[in-house]
Amino acid sequence: MEILLSALVSGLLLGLVLALVALGLTIIFGVMDIVNFAHGEFLMVGMYTGLLTAQGLGIDPLLTLPVAGAVGFLLGIVCYFGFIKFLLRGPMVAQLLGTFGLMLFLRNLALLIFGSEDRALHHGLLVGKSFDIGMGVIVSATKLAAAGLSVAAFVAVWLFMNRTRIGKALTATALNRSAARYMGIPTERMNALAWGAGGASVTIAGALIVNFWSVNPFIGLLFTMIAFAIVALGGFGSVPGAFFAGLVVGLIMEIPGFWDFFMFTFNADWMAKVPMTSFKYMWVYLAYFVIMVVRPRGLFGWKH
Amino acid sequence: MKSAIRLGMVVVSVLAVIGLMAPVGALAAEAVKIGVIYPLTGGAAAEGRELRAGAELAAEIINAVYKNISMDMAKSQGIKSLGSAKIELVFKDHEGNPTLGADLAKKLILDDKVVGIMGCYHSAVTKTVSAVCEQYGVPMINDSSTSPDLTKRGFKWFWRTTPHDTTFTTDLFNFLKGLTEGKAKGVKAVPKAQIQNLASACEKTEWGSNVSALIESFAKEYGFTVKKSILYAAKSTDLSSEVGSLKAVKPDVMLFASYASDAILMLKTLKAQKAQPKVLWGQDAGFEAPEFKDTLRDDIVGVLTRTVFLPKVASVKKVAGEVDGFYQKKVGHSLSGASARAFTGVQAWAAVLEKAGSTKPADIQKAANAIKIPADQLIVPWQGIQFATSGEDIGQNILGSGMIGQYQKDKDGKISLEIAYPFDLATANLIFPFPGY
């Protein structure tokens, strides 16, 4: 039983963290219909920002979150005005290849500056701490904090999009750009805002997860792929969709844990021989594939 | 007239350039080039740096006279039988990628015209690189890859100085058996039931999956039960489901084969999930990388790792102490299993070339098959170097042996590896059971 509970809790926590990573991607996609291939690299920037600020200033890594947020916001805005704005005039392929190029640029820039080694935080309020919450379930403090922040970020973004004037303007831009412009909404600024907000949310996520994962210049790709799976599963552009899909993906990644549970419950020795952990990412991409074939707009996506 | 002057100037400058190049060219023709392919970037970059530093140090000692190092190769300049030719190492970075490794090997052979190849640390890369060498008939000495299969292919151009994982895994099970017989220093005989259940997690390329299979087969032979064996991707960002799966079977002994970044992540996750094994053992590689110790610090006290070199060897073996002192002066820390083996690989290359007295592949092949380097020349605690020329393990050094070390904290709070196995060489009381988190 404790195996099932452990797997469930750790899957949900991981899911919340991954949902936070995917949030920025879904904001940018929802407003601009642009798929940002460099999303994972934004996360990497956030991780390096958190790590270097904490080490450079000797402060707790948690205090670096606002710094990372500011860096991400600026990065998003600069990318938009310096680069994406021009891509919008081109065909869809230009936009895809453009963000792909941005991904390569950021990755190699990081390689040039930081080198290829893994770097990790060794000190901090949350680093390496964990508690036993009973029933044999052990929760790592950093993951719990990241999960909490994830919930807060989703609520904040949802409220912002649905309850504020600017948020409604963003949603309007997302639904129909030309109509929004006729209504007097400065869509250019809305686009920049989406890039800023998307960038900030993902760099904050990065600064938080560097508390438990190490960072290197290549880390982005894995997260980009998982974020894509989440956003596709939840529906491109849907904020609640990303949230629930994140939880689903987290649970999918814990399939080896559930497998163990069934193995012990049924005392099935053959199940121990199946190398479940070797394939844990396969299930995520399988789900991505199935949802793309069966329901291309995802669970919560808008019909265009 | 003007054009005649111009022509004259061109001729003079061309001659000058040729004149400048001539002595360099003459030197270059003399130097013996060995292509060295290591993971200098990527997840194993830290080990790559160690390997490179070890290899460079050996070349330095070969190429000049060092009176305070009592090795034959330190007594003369370069390779005597080749007219004191110096050894030049041409380093290439394979990033842990087998395909890239094979391409680099071709490049070294065809463009750089190397006499031979050394490397590549990752067994998966050594496999493809040695296939290229076999195809081109270029000798390769492998210093640091331990997958047993590498010497089971009957290759004619491949020799391996390091012992392989069958040796190391035998050591592990002899260690566990010795533990139950009360042979470990400072620990009373442990009832076998207390360490009966094993669980392993190995990275899933050539090396790790072989280690995993070896553990299974040796466990059967020695009467232990493997409750769970996991293969995982070394590039994972999260290992919590893997650790959860290991913990679920409540193993007494946890065994790992990991490269550097995943070894650190694994230990961090074990700590976060409060794993409680009695023995925690790693198959070298990541468990011995300098950053493993620097990152995890107190969390690794009691962790065991197999190795071929511990700084403690320097205190019992004279030549190891001399070279280690030199290495420390250059690099700032002691030799590790990786750097000691790279050093020994270059040393083997020098000895083979010395014996061959030629850089023709056929002569090198003959020399490699006949060579015997005595133990007193080596910094590693082996009986020597001599390659098998028949049987199942063609090209394998038959005189190698392994050790098991344990991380312990001394009075000054410094964490270092103590020899735990072979039991008769033990330098400290074994910490048993593993203190846990």
Query: pLDDT for B12-60, tens place per residue?
Result: 555 555 544 444 434 444 799 999 999 998 778 888 999 999 999 999 9
Query: What is the pLDDT, as a whole number, of residue B10?
Result: 58
Quote the number of domains for chain B.
2
B133 to chain A, closest Cα gap in Å? 29
A122 to chain B, closest Cα gap in Å? 7
Report phi then psi at A266, rounded to 5: -95, 0
Q: Could you tell me if A262 lies within 8 Å of chain B, comparing CB atoms?
A: no
Spatial distance between the Cα atoms of B198 and A91, rounded to a whole number of angstroms: 58
A117–B45 C-beta distance less than 8 A: yes
Is residue B95 in some structural domain? yes
Query: What is the pLDDT, as a whole number, of residue B366?
Result: 95
A277–B245 C-beta distance less than 8 A: yes
Q: A104 falls in which pLDDT band (50, 70, 90)?
A: very high
Residue B126 sits in the same domain as residue B263: no
* CA distance to B38, B108, B163, B207, B423, per residue, from B96 (Å): 8, 17, 21, 12, 35
Q: In this complex, which of A122, A260, A276 lies closest to B295 when CB atoms are compared?
A: A122
Task: Specify the DSSP class assigned to residue B85.
Answer: B
B62 to chain A, closest Cα gap in Å? 31
Mutate which: B240, B293, B297, vs A, most A CBs within 10 A: B240
Highest mean pLDDT among A70-74, A218-222, B232-236: A70-74
Strand-pair partners of A131: A139
Q: Which residues contact A293 (CB under 8 A, 6 or more apart)?
A: none
Q: Could you tell me if B233 lies within 8 Å of chain A, comparing CB atoms?
A: yes
Residue B98 sits in the same domain as residue B200: no
Low-confidence stretches of chain B (pLDDT < 50) are 19-29
Phi-psi region of A185 (alpha: psi -120 to 50; beta: other; left: phi over 0): beta
Quote the number of domains for chain A.
1
Q: In this complex, which of B227, B231, B265 lies closest to A278 when CB atoms are compared?
A: B231
Is residue B25 in some structural domain? no
Average pLDDT over residues A32-53: 90
Residue B252 sits in the same domain as residue B159: no
Other C-beta atoms lying within 10 Å of the C-beta of residue B113: 10
Chain A's closest residue to B296, CA to CA, is A122
The CATH number assigned to the domain holding A90 equals 1.10.3470
Query: What is the pLDDT, as a whole number, of residue A300?
Result: 78
B293 to chain A, closest Cα gap in Å? 12
End-to-end CA distance of chain A: 45
Query: What is the pLDDT, as a whole number, of residue B11?
Result: 56
Q: Which residues contact B111 (CB under 8 A, 6 or more apart)?
A: none
A256–B235 C-beta distance less than 8 A: no
In contact, B109 and B103? CB cutoff 8 Å: no
Is residue A221 in some structural domain? yes
User: Torsion over CA of B273, B279, B283 and B286, rounded to 10 degrees?
Assistant: 40
Residue B323 sits in the same domain as residue B279: no
In contact, B349 and B34? CB cutoff 8 Å: yes
Is residue A146 in some structural domain? yes
Is residue B136 in some structural domain? yes
Spatial distance between the Cα atoms of A228 and A72, rounded to a whole number of angstroms: 19
Sheet arrangement for strand B197-203: B225-232, B197-203, B253-257, B279-282, B304-307, B403-409, B415-421
Is residue B19 in some structural domain? no
Residue B284 sits in the same domain as residue B421: yes
Q: What is the mean pLDDT of chain B?
A: 88
Query: What is the pLDDT, as a whole number, of residue A7?
Result: 84
Average pLDDT over residues A61-82: 92
Residue A208 with chain B: CB contacts under 8 Å: none
* CA distance to A27, A151, A200, B72, B151, per residue, from A23 (Å): 6, 11, 10, 64, 51
B237–A115 C-beta distance less than 8 A: no
Residue B114 sits in the same domain as residue B229: no
The CATH number assigned to the domain holding B82 equals 3.40.50.2300
User: Cβ-count burial of B147 within 10 angstroms (0-12 exposed, 13-18 middle, 19+ buried)?
Assistant: buried
B238–A14 C-beta distance less than 8 A: yes
A278–B233 C-beta distance less than 8 A: yes
Length of chain A: 304
Is residue B250 in some structural domain? yes
Chain A's closest residue to B231, CA to CA, is A278
Residue B245 with chain A: CB contacts under 8 Å: 256-257, 260, 276-277
In contact, A73 and A137? CB cutoff 8 Å: no
Is residue A67 in some structural domain? yes
Q: What is the mean pLDDT of chain A?
A: 85
Residue B302 sits in the same domain as residue B320: no
Query: What is the pLDDT, as a whole number, of residue B217?
Result: 93
B243 to chain A, closest Cα gap in Å? 10
Task: Specify the DSSP class assigned to residue B195.
Answer: G
Element (H or E) spanning B155, and its range? none
Is residue B17 in some structural domain? no
Residue B295 with chain A: CB contacts under 8 Å: 120, 122
Is residue B141 in some structural domain? yes
Residue B266 sits in the same domain as residue B181: yes
Residue B51 sits in the same domain as residue B129: yes
Q: A302 falls in which pLDDT band (50, 70, 90)?
A: low
**Does residue A105 surpass a pLDDT of 80?**
yes
Q: Looking up tokens 């270029």, which residue turns up?
A: B138
The ipTM estimated for the assembled molecules is: 0.77
Alpha carbon B164 to chain centroid, angstroms: 10
Query: The domain containing residue A143 runs over which residues?
Result: 2-294
A256–B248 C-beta distance less than 8 A: no
Is residue B5 in some structural domain? no
User: Cβ-count burial of A304 within 10 angstroms (0-12 exposed, 13-18 middle, 19+ buried)?
Assistant: exposed
Residue B62 sits in the same domain as residue B115: yes
Residue B237 with chain A: CB contacts under 8 Å: 213, 219, 222-223
Residue A224 with chain B: CB contacts under 8 Å: none
Query: What is the pLDDT, as a whole number, of residue A111?
Result: 87
Chain A's closest residue to B267, CA to CA, is A128
Q: In this complex, which of A115, A138, A213 lies closest to B274 when CB atoms are compared?
A: A138
Residue B228 sits in the same domain as residue B324: no
Q: A225 falls in which pLDDT band (50, 70, 90)?
A: confident
- pLDDT (tens digit, 9 = 90+) per residue, A160-180? 888 888 888 888 887 788 888
Residue A272 with chain B: CB contacts under 8 Å: 227-228
Nearest alpha-carbon partner for A209 in A25, A17, A64: A17
Residue B134 sits in the same domain as residue B57: yes
Q: CA-based diameter of chain B, in Å?
A: 101
Strand-pair partners of B406: B304, B418
Query: What is the pLDDT, as a whole number, of residue B7?
Result: 57
Is residue A303 in some structural domain? no
Query: The domain containing residue B63 runs over which residues?
Result: 31-163+315-385
* DSSP-derived pairing of the beta strands B403-409 and B304-307: antiparallel
- pTM to 2 decimals? 0.78
A147 to chain B, closest Cα gap in Å? 15
Is residue A300 in some structural domain? no
Spatial distance between the Cα atoms of A243 and A16, rounded to a whole number of angstroms: 7
Spatial distance between the Cα atoms of A42 and A52, rounded to a whole number of angstroms: 15
